[in-house]
Structure 1
Amino acid sequence: MESGLGQTAPREVAKNRSPGARPTRRSARLPANSSRQLVPPARPARPPGSPARLARPARRTPREPGSWKDAAMPLRVATTQPVATTDVPANGSKARELMRLAAGEGARLIHFPEGFLSGYAKEQIADWDDVDWAAVRAEIRAIAHLATELRIWVVIGSAHPLTPPNRPHNSLYVISDRGEVVNRYDKRFCSNTEITRFYSPGFEPVVFDVDGYRFGCAICVEVNFPSVFIEYDRLGVDCLLLSAWPIDSVFFLKARSHAAIHNYWLSLSVPAQSADLMPSAIIGPDGSESASIHAPGELAIATLDRDAPEFHIAVNLARPWRADADLGDIYRRRRVDDDPRSDDRTAV
C-alpha cells in the first residue's frame, strides 16, 4: 500500500513509544471462539502473486501497574473546522496555518475533517478527473515537512487515488511528527451514494500511539455503526478521531454517545459548511463537551489526562468494569440454576 508520499505505509499499529514499553490498556477482548466479527466481511482471496495482507493491530493486554500508560503525561489534541474547498493548494495552506496555531498552543496532534485536502465527493466533486492528484501529493509532502518542523502529528482527510479504473478510497492520512505517512485509514462503511458512485471501501481499523495515548480513526456515516466503536474500544484506544461532513444535527449526539458509552475521548472534526448543524469539538470520556469551535479560523484544544479527577469514574472505574462485564464471567459465576422461581417466567 502506497502512502501519499510514495512510501509504503504498513496497515498495522504505528508506534511512538520508548524501547521495551508495553501496551497495557485494559480492553474487553473477544473470546477466541467468538463468532462475532465486524462487517463489512473479509474481502475475497487475492489473485496469485498479489501481496499478502498485513495483520490487524494486536489487541491490548490488561493494564499493569507501572506500565508506560501509567507514566504517560497529559497530551494536548487540537481539532479543526476549516472551510473546505476544491482548491487543493488553498486547502493545504489552510492546514499548515492551523498546524502552526496548534503547535503554538502546545498540541501534539491536530485533526482535520473528512475529504478536506482533496475536496469531498459527493458534496464538492462530481468527477474524480477534476482532482489534481499531483497537487494532493505535493500538499501532503508540504504538510509532512511542517509536521517535522513543529513536532506535531497530523490526521487529515483526503481521497486517496488507486490504480485506474479503481475508485479512490475515502481516507485519513496519519502523518507522524517525524514527517512520515505512517498509516492511512480507509472508510469502511461508505454511504450508498459513496459506494455506488465514488469510493472503494476499506476493510481495516487503524490505531497508532502518540506519547503513551492510543488513537483510532473513523469517518462520518460510520457513526451509525456501533461495531466500529466497539472494535476500537477493544483495541484500547484512548481517543477516537472522527472526521465527517454531517448532514443532520443528531450526528453530534451520536458522537457524544459513543464517547460516553465506551469511555474514551472523541475528537470530531467537520468543515465550516456544517457549522449550522454542529461545531467541531473534543468530547470527554464521560460524554461531556470539553472544547468546541465557534469560528472557522479557530481551534478546539483539549488535554487528554487519565488522572484528571473529572474523568476518574469514566476512565478508571467504568471502562474496566464494562470490559469485565462484556466478557460475561461476572454474571456466569452468579447464575442461578434449578430454581423454579427463576425458571418459571410466569411466576409472580
Structure 2
Amino acid sequence: MRIALAQIQAGTEPAANLKLVESYTSRAADAGASLVLFPEATMCRFGLPLAEAAEPLDGPWAEGVRAIAAQAGITVVAGMFVPADDGRVTNTLVAAGPGVDAHYDKIHLYDAFGFVESRTVAPGREPVVITVDGVNVGLTLCYDIRFPELYVELARRGAEVITVHASWGTGPGKLEQWTLLARARALDTGSFVAAVGQAYPGDEVAAIGPTGVGGSVVASPLGEIVEAAGAGPALLVTDIDTAAVASVRDTIAVLRNRSDFACVDRAESRA
C-alpha cells in the first residue's frame, strides 16, 4: 500500500486551505498513493474562534474534499470543524474516496498544557475504521495518541494502519514526545502508524497555540521509523507492506496476550 502524508501549513481561510488539499492530493495521486492524509485543523488553523469556521459534514468544505478525492481517485482524510448540538464544535476528520464516505470525531480533548479544548469542542464517542484498497485503516486525532487503549480497540476492530492527524503544540520535548508516541502506539498494536502534523508556522504563529511542529512520521509495527519529515511543508510518500502486520502480531503477541484489568476489577467488585 502506498500512502502519502501531506504536512501542510494551514491558514485561517478555509477556501485557501481547500486549495492546499487539492494541490497535495493531486501530487499524491501522481505519485501512485491510494491514501493521502492531512493534519488536524486543515480546514482552519487554531488560534481563532472555531465556531466561525465550522461547517456541517454536507457543507461546502467537506463536499469540496469529496470532490477532490473523486477527481484524484484516491482516499483523502482531512481535519475540519463541525457544529455540535450544544453550541460547541466537533474536531472532526472527514474521509472520502473510492468506497469511502466517513468521519471521525476526536474522542480525547486537549485539556492539557494550559489549554482547555473542551470549552469549545464536544467529544466524539465512537472509534472509526475505514477500508482503503482492502486495508483496514483506523482514524485518530492529535491528543488521542496519548491514550493507547483507543489504538488497541482500533486494532481489535481490524485496523492494520492507524492514522494520527495533529496540530501539535510546541514546547520543550514536544516534538520528541510526538515521535516517541507514534512509535509506541505502533508497538502497542503491531500496526503501522502514520502520523501527520501541521508544518511549523514560525515563532509568531506558534505562540498562539497548538499550530504545528512538523515531524510527520510513519512507524512500522516494530516501532521503527519508516519515513519522517522535517519542520516545513512536505509531502511524504511511502510504501508499507501490510503483510508485516500479521507477522508482527503473531510474533509479538501483545494483542492476543492482553489482560483487561478493568474487567477484572469490575468482576471482583461484584463478587
Shorter-chain TM-score above 0.5: yes
Distance 1:285 1:78, change over 3 A: same
What is the deviation of 1:99?
0.1
Q: What is the deviation of 1:201?
A: 0.6
* Contact preservation (8 Å) 2:83, 2:90: yes
TM-score by length of 1: 0.64
Cα shift at 1:277: 4.5
Matched, 1:298 2:234: yes
The whole-number CA distance in structure 1 between the counterparts of 2:54 and 2:154 is 33
Measured after TM superposition, the shift of residue 294 of structure 1 is 3.5
Partner of 1:156: 78
Q: Distance in 1 between matches of 2:15 and 2:119?
A: 25
Per-residue CA deviations over 1:51-71 (Å, capped at 9, x if unaligned) read: xxxxxxxxxxxxxxxxxxxxx
3-state secondary structure, aligned to 1:326: coil
Q: CA deviation at 1:284?
A: 1.2
2:198 pairs with 1:279: no
Q: Return the structure number with greater strand share.
A: 2
Correspondent of 2:147 among 205, 225, 249: 225
Give the whole-Å Cα distance in 2 for the aligned partners of 1:129 and 1:264. Answer: 35
SS of the counterpart of 2:70?
Answer: helix
Structure 1 residue 312 displacement after superposition: 7.6
Structure 2: which amino acid aligns with 1:317? T
- What is the match of residue 15 of structure 2? 89
Q: Which residue of 1 aligns with 2:33?
A: 107
| Structure 1 stretches lacking a partner, 5+ long | 1-74, 329-348
Which of 113, 119, 125 is residue 203 of structure 1 equivalent to? 125
Equivalent pair of 2:5/2:196 in contact (CA under 8 Å): yes
Q: Deviations over 1:53-111 (max 9, x none)?
A: xxxxxxxxxxxxxxxxxxxxxx1111111012111111000011000000001100110
Report the Cα offset of residue 133 of structure 1. Answer: 3.8
Give the count of matched residue pairs. 243
Q: Shift in Å at residue 325 of structure 1?
A: 2.0
Distance 2:201 2:220 in 1: 21
Q: Residues 261-291 of structure 1, C-alpha deviation per residue, up to 9 Å, x if partnerless?
A: 2110011111112798551121111111111
Indicate if the aligned counterparts of 2:51 and 2:89 stay in contact, CA closer than 8 A.
Answer: no
Distance in 2 (alpha carbons) for counterparts of 1:96 and 1:212: 24
| Structure 2 residues not aligned, in runs of 5+ | 203-211, 261-271
Q: How does 1:1-348 map to 2 (within 5 A)?
A: 75-120=1-46, 124-125=47-48, 127-131=49-53, 133=55, 137-163=59-85, 165-177=86-98, 182-192=101-111, 193-247=115-169, 248-249=174-175, 250-273=177-200, 277-294=213-230, 296-307=232-243, 313-318=247-252, 321-326=253-258
- Cα distance per residue 1:166-195 (max 9 Å; x no partner): 2110111111236x6x21111111022444
Give the partner amino acid of 2:191: Y
SS of the residue corresponding to residue 91 of structure 2 reads strand
Counterpart AA for 1:185: Y
Would you say the 8 A contact 1:119–1:158 is kept in 2?
no
Q: Which 4+ runs in 1 deviate beyond 3 A?
A: 193-196, 274-278, 294-297
CA distance in 2 between partners of 1:212 and 1:287 (Å): 23
1:114–1:157 Cα contact (<8 Å) kept? yes
Amino acid at match of 1:290: V
Question: How far 1:157 sits from its partner (Å)?
Answer: 0.5
Offset at 1:313? 4.9
Q: TM-score, normalised by structure 2?
A: 0.80
**Max Rg structure:** 1
Identity, in percent, stands at 24
One-letter identity of the residue aligned with 1:232: L
